[in-house]
Amino acid sequence: MTLKAKMILDKDFTISAIDPRIYGSFIEHLGRAVYGGIYEPGHPLADEKGYRKDVADLIRQLNVPIIRYPGGNFVSGYNWEDGVGPIAERPRRLELAWKTVEPNHVGTNEFAEWAKSVNTEVMMAVNLGTRGMDDARNLVEYCNHPGGTYWSDLRVSHGYKEPHKIKTWCLGNEMDGPWQIGHKTAEEYGRIAEETAKVMKWVDPSIELVSCGSSNTSMPTFPQWEATTLEYTYDHVDFVSLHRYYGNYNNDTQSYLAYSLDMDHFIRTVISVCDYIKAKKRSKKTINLSFDEWNVWFHSKEADKKIDPWTIAPPQLEDIYNFEDALLVGCMLITLLKHADRVRMACLAQLVNVIAPIMTENGGRSWKQTIFYPYLHASVYGRGIALHPVVHSPKYDSKEFTDVPYLETTAVYRPEDEEVTIFAVNRSLDSSLQLETDIRSFAGYRVIEHLVLENDNLKAVNTIEHEAVKPHSNGNAHAEDGTLLANLSKASWNVIRLKKH
């Protein structure tokens, strides 16, 4: 059986220009993300400063615009001063969030320098768990002030004459969570975040700030947390954060591939709370969203229980992703694009080794996980203007969801290049889907590529020896007389690129 769906694309049906930071990622001092991930002195492919060139090359392929750092749960116990100055003099610390030892060989300056080398910006998080506004304002001064003051001159003395000019800053991490070092009530967090935001912007008025939203939708304080904290922070911050991870714990793929509907509901709920506070304050300012942690995370949780505590860079959270994980990641990317008017930043968590699209061997090779490809395609081809397609798709019910469209899709228009890209997932596990798209608004456009990620085995994984899940360009999409026709294989991720001829 072949399913049939229809879509209308029009260059005037727009959502918003897409902020490139929607394709951001995350590197935390956790597991082998830093040590053994981006940084491995002595590796055959390490540069003169110890950074792996093979990993850097893969990150450049992904064209990652911004990377959140240094955490995550890690940041709530982190003294940033431990990570600056001569490496030989830096202390080793017990890292309580993940029960490891942090050697502090990589810190603020090293990460900022490395970020420039892979053509990305830094989204810096400050510690509002064990520390507060004084340490945060000092860090802004250290990073961004040109010189002539204590903290900026200290940076200069550490060998970094030019300021890092870090624009985007997170006011703590998941402060609603009891697992968080320095966990706070909404009122406690709202007050410290408000006062911290004030002094950080007094040091550097050009920065943007992200207030902590709920750690996930199942938190008992959601969404009241957002309402309460924004009462304090609304006038001082630019974004509120969202975090969400999914897993196929019950081996119910039909429900699993529908979790992006839950993500959509999360986004809509947070937008409504932000706009309620806007109305309550009679404000003309709009708070946007930073979905700065999102991914699949469940494969490694049993293995992580067996890791010995108090070691350096153990293999934590090393999920090995399969094909169906890549399909869900594709659906989640489409969901972010559907909300490009309010989701201005997002971070696939994380980038290397830790629930990541890129994996490495210590001393050995690196390779691409299955989720690498939808992330790559969206980042490379999803820049421009998010369109609002009119979609008619057959639907199904699963154990957890009703009215799930088989077709998950959106499109991006780049008028300066005269290109349109359609991203589409066929959620059906047993039927292909015939997609008919009205593209009369794009007269003269022709298909230049139809990329497909498909595999008959939903559980297929990529390994260092064999890449079982990788895209091909043999899709059959074609345009004629103002209509685009494409057959989307069962359980597939599709990227259809059109260009005016």
Residues assigned a catalytic role: 174, 293
Task: Provide the Cα torsion 332, 333, 339, 340; round to 10°.
Answer: 160
- Give residue for tokens 């507060």: 132
- Give residue for tokens 């798709």: 393
Bridge partner list, 120: none
CA 393, CA 455: separation in Å to the nearest integer? 23
Q: Is 457 exposed, middle or buried (0-12, 13-18, 19+ CB in 10 A)?
A: exposed
CB 269 within 8 A of CB 223: yes
CB 155 within 8 A of CB 163: yes
CB 422 within 8 A of CB 495: yes
CB 163 within 8 A of CB 108: no
CA 154, CA 151: separation in Å to the nearest integer? 5
Strand duo 385-387 + 432-438: pairing: unpaired
CA 82, CA 78: separation in Å to the nearest integer? 8
Strand duo 2-8 + 390-392: pairing: antiparallel
Ramachandran area for residue 174 (φ above 0: left; ψ -120 to 50: alpha; else beta): left
